[in-house]
Structure 1
Amino acid sequence: MRGLPLPDLSGRWTGGLLALLAGVLAVLAFAPVSLFTAAPLALAVWFGLLVRVQGRPRRAAWFGWLFGLGFFGVGTSWIFNSLLVFGQAPLVVASVITVAFVLVMALYPALLSALAARFLPLHRMEGLLALAGGLVLLELARSWLFSGFPWLLFGHATLDTPLASWLPLAGELGAGLMVALIAAGLVLAAGRRSRGVGVGLVAGVVVVSAALLPLQWTDPDGDPVRATLVQGNIDQERKWAPDGIRHSLEVYRDLTAEAGPADLVVWPETAIPALAREVDGMLEQVAADLPGEDAQLVTGLFDGHRDGDIHNAILTYPGGAAYHKRQLVPFGEYIPLREQLAWLDRLLMIPMSDLARGEDDGRITLAGRTAGASICYESAYARHIRAALPEAGFLVNVSNDAWFGDSLAPAQHLQIARVRAVETGRPILRATNTGVSALIDADGRLIEGSPLFEPATVHGEIRPRSGITPAAAMGEGPAVLAALVLVVLGAAVGRRQARSGDPV
């Protein structure tokens, strides 16, 4: 871009270091820090570096790869903790798997950078807008390919900002597009001739976002649901000890007995490390002892079928309703290419790591209402959550975040759950083993929450909602279409103007 008042930072190592630091900076935009401005600033640095290497795709790919290395290396560092401490993998194995994961994930921004430097006129406004659209397509690919990893999407960072208004309108990808447009505006604002355009773009995104905030897409529907979330805080090693079933039952039964009347008492994912048929009688008795009329126990369990399949499930007592998890975690709940990777299965001491995939739509009857159910990591997949809508009046998510330990992941996971609430216009009951367990309102606000790594019960009310948000009704379509328009038109118009010699 002509007139950028910056020194030449396109050197392989100088620019590479800056790209790496920008990737690390971007992590600060997500929980637990939640410094939103870090997201557009980090993207602006990355975009600005790509402007400097226009026409040099190899150098651009290097910068993009280093940006991804910093971003995923810090943002998903909890994977190492999960494998080493809770998967009991040898240090070398945990290190190799984590490093390999980060290196592969960094290929996504590397590919985008190379394509942008090769095909987009990044020194022009149209090229930068196309790059912003390309970021959305990058996140789409990351959310779907190889079972997907929709974690640390830039739309998640918009919570508690005016840009959160795009979550119910265009989903996490639409909100992420707004972040990318602000970043493009910042790069434009750094150029003398494009300063006004850049400032206008940033201001326009913020003003329009703020104007959309008052819009309500769903309405309260029926009486509030009283809920108690029970957090046992049982260590993974203790949970899977020979007496783990008995111990877990005692912990959750005692905590539940201390709770007051509720319509729903929710225990977390695999609260009892047993097959449902092994503990059905005991859980029926726990449900019968619950205070309150027609109170219902909702718990995570393993549900075994006659055909031998075992599911990670949510079951209800009384009532017998069941939900089977659809999105299993690779290497945690199943081993991809099991025949070829059997050796890895032997190294990772993860119990119940050969589970069957559920085919449910997520709808389950709780407290006489239709709810949308999900288990743990599924909350990161918007497509699974919206499958239960518009019938579901509220959402319930059970999780066992003990796998993450004392890392960034529990806060990031809670942030994702809050995004799902805003996206769908539905409150969420989120029960976890070690925290954060929370009642989340339809606007993403925490009604009540638990501390981390402490036994706790969380009490409160949620109000079911009816109606459907545009994001829940149309999914990623509008955001992806907008991104494609920016990429195609931006590249075409930009190249034509560049050939004619017009200034930016």
Structure 2
Amino acid sequence: MQPLFERLPPWASALVALLAGGAATLAFAPVSWFLAAPLALAVWFALLPGATPRQATVLGYAFGLGFFGVGVTWIFNSLLVFGQAPLVVASLITVLFVLVMAAYPALLAGLAARFLPLARPAGMLALAGGLVLMELARSWLFSGFPWLLFGHTVLDTPLQSWLPLVGELGAGLVVALLAVAVVTVFRPGQRWLGAGLAGMLVIASVALGLVRWVEPGGAPISVAMVQGNIDQARKWDADGIEYSLGIYEDLTHEAGGVDLVVWPETAIPALYVEVQGPLGQLAQSLAEHDGELLVGVFDHQAAGRHVYNSVVNVTTGAGYNKRQLVPFGEYIPLRGQLDWLDRLLAIPMSDLSPGEGDGRMQIAGQMAGVSICYESAYSRHIRAALPEAGFLVNVSNDAWFGDSLAPAQHLQIARVRAVEAGRPMIRATNTGISALIDADGRLLERSGLFTREVVTGSVQPRQGVTPATATGMGPAVLAALVLLMAGAAIRRRAG
């Protein structure tokens, strides 16, 4: 069978790859059409056999342009609206980011065409392993961008059962293997291999779904998440602190008697010491009904002049400082060399210091794993609090993203973390989407987007350890390496 690349002119192959990359984003929230992921990958994979390394690199770059060009358009909104960057600057930075991210699939495709027998099943399997290593690199290099990983798409499908076993990278490998199955089904002489691979993956997924890795531990916790929906610009006005305090205090009084009230990330645009008095009074009134108040606020260390993005349990005084800061949002990398960029962006509190610790905090009489906003995209930060933590708390400020794809994508990532860890998550945001997520990733309660409301419900803490928590990304990376080395070895023997 003639390779697909050889049957199409180069420009047509690049266009197909570009469209496939864009279509792959349909598998992610808010659309969540799971089959778009393996089918889009299958189209891209099918283009690579017969291509030279240079041609394959172009095809990989085209796929990446489509994928990131559609999937991360929210970056433009963050820069233009929240960062108040000029239109030209926001556009250029967004385009540059997409161009850089597209280099990952370009490099993967080029190396695969050079070192793997892509016309054989072993070569395709190795390519699936390469996709996992590509996502690993993207999650780590230059502080990492673990967003739109293919393992996130398995939520609400039978393949979700892979998440607590091998984590998001392992689930991504399963998605890539499904894509390989689709490709081989259409190859003469390989059809039964493709059908068999797909069948085995589905059967294994269903069987894994019968396994229960964790069990209830501790009493349920009643929760109220306060979503103030305060405009970013209004928040930083001269009277922004008093205005924000007034709204959140009023909403908190509406919450009623619950075990825990959670305010979102930087709910109050002030240092904790500046608002400790009124917050303490509110916490005292909640304590009369055995309730605790958890607040997202800035904190500081006077000795080192460090300012942190923090979560403070006002009732007990315990605190947590965000470890994984957002480049160009909470700090400027290489500030000495990129000072000019800092002057173009008007982002408040953009010179923060990273915190330390593992995120564990005693909340409502039980141990919790606390994270802030973007940290939910990093599985290693969530795992650090486990297995001691019986539930997870994530506070976020998704107002950065505006009315874009990102709030739904961020919620999808939070749900993945809950399934991986086998822990429920309390997720409080400024503008939505706030949610109570159970240990199986189901949404128990959720808010609207850009609504002012209080979301109430309860979560059941869990105990036990999922394999993904115990071993992290190790098994997925090992499996990917084995597939990759086996494919490369077959290519070398074939000459």
TM-score range normalised by the length of the shorter chain: over 0.9
Equivalent positions of 1:9-158 (< 5 A) are 9-53=7-51, 56-158=52-154
In structure 2, what is the Cα distance between the partners aligned to 1:9 and 1:34? Answer: 32
Residue type of the alignment partner of 2:329: G
Q: What is the match of residue 365 of structure 1?
A: 362
**Residues 18-417 of structure 1 correspond to what in structure 2 (within 5 A)?**
18-53=16-51, 56-290=52-286, 293-306=289-302, 307-417=304-414
Which 5+ residue runs of structure 1 have no aligned equivalent?
Answer: 500-504
- Give the CA deviation at 1:293: 2.8
Per-residue CA deviation, residues 472-502 of structure 1 (Å, 9 max, x unaligned), is 1110000000000000012213543x45xxx
Give per-residue Cα distances to partners, 1:343-369, cap 9 Å, x unaligned.
Answer: 111110000000000012110110011
Counterparts in 2 of 1:7 and 1:487: CA distance versus 1, 3 Å: closer
8 Å contact from structure 1 (residues 126, 494) kept in 2: no
1:286 is displaced (CA, Å) by 1.1
- SS at structure 1 position matched to 2:148: coil
Which 4+ runs in 1 deviate beyond 6 A? Answer: none
Residues in 1 aligned to 2:317 and 2:283: alpha-carbon distance in whole angstroms: 12
Q: Secondary structure at the match of 1:260?
A: coil
Aligned-partner Cα distance in 2 for 1:292–1:71: 52
Question: Within 2, Cα distance between the matches of 1:288 and 1:311?
Answer: 25
Taking the aligned partners of 1:367 and 1:494, their CA distance within structure 2 comes to 58
Call closer, same or farther: CA 1:358–1:291 in 2, change over 3 Å. Answer: closer
Structure 2: distance between partners of 1:75 and 1:245: 34
Letter in 2 for 1:151: W
Question: What's the Cα RMSD here?
Answer: 1.1
TM-score normalised to the size of structure 1? 0.97
**Residue by residue, what CA displacement relative to the aligned partner does 1:200-237 show, whole Å, maximum 9, x if unpaired?**
11111111111111111111001101110000000000
CA distance in 1, matches of 2:124, 2:250: 58
Question: Given the alignment of the two structures, is residue 489 of structure 1 paired with residue 449 of structure 2, yes or no?
Answer: no
Conserved 8 A contact 2:5-2:49: no
Q: Give the 3-state SS of the residue equivalent to 2:455 in structure 1.
A: strand
Is 1:10–1:52's contact at 8 Å kept on the other side of the alignment? no
The answer (yes or no) to whether the contact 2:5–2:50 under 8 Å persists in 1 is: no
Native 8 Å contact 1:374 1:397 kept in 2: yes
Asked if the contact 2:5/2:13 (under 8 Å) is kept, the reply is no
Q: How many residues align?
A: 494
Structure 1 position 310, deviation (Å): 0.2
- % identical equivalent positions: 67
Cα distance in 2 for partners of 1:490, 1:206 equals 24
130-139 or 214-223: which moved more? 214-223
Question: What whole-Å deviation, never above 9, does each CA across 1:15-34 have from its counterpart, x for those lacking one?
Answer: 00000000000000000000
Residue pair 1:134, 1:487 contacting (<8 A) in 2 also: yes
| CA 1:152–1:345: 2 relative to 1, 3 Å | same
Superposed CA offset, 1:304-328 (max 9, x none): 1112100000001110000000000
Q: Does the 8 A contact of 2:115 with 2:491 survive in 1?
A: no
Q: State the Cα distance separating 1:86 from its structure 2 match.
A: 1.2
**Cα shift at 1:422:** 0.2
Superposed CA offset, 1:54-113 (max 9, x none): xx1110000000100000011000000100111100011101110000000000000000
Determine if the alignment matches structure 1 residue 471 to structure 2 residue 474.
no
Residue 199 of structure 1: how far off its partner (Å): 1.1
Secondary structure at the counterpart of residue 169 of structure 1:
helix
Alignment-mate amino acid for residue 449 of structure 2: L
Structure 2: gaps (5+ residues)? none
One-letter amino acid of the counterpart of residue 262, structure 2? V
How many Å apart are 1:3 and its aligned residue? 5.9
The answer on whether the counterparts of 1:9 and 1:49 sit within 8 Å (CA) in structure 2 is no
Separation in structure 2 between the aligned mates of residue 243 and residue 37 of structure 1, nearest angstrom: 49
Residue identity opposite 1:354 in structure 2: D
| Contact 1:261/1:291, CA 8 A, preserved across alignment | no
Tell me if the contact between 1:3 and 1:192 (Cα under 8 Å) persists in the aligned partners: no
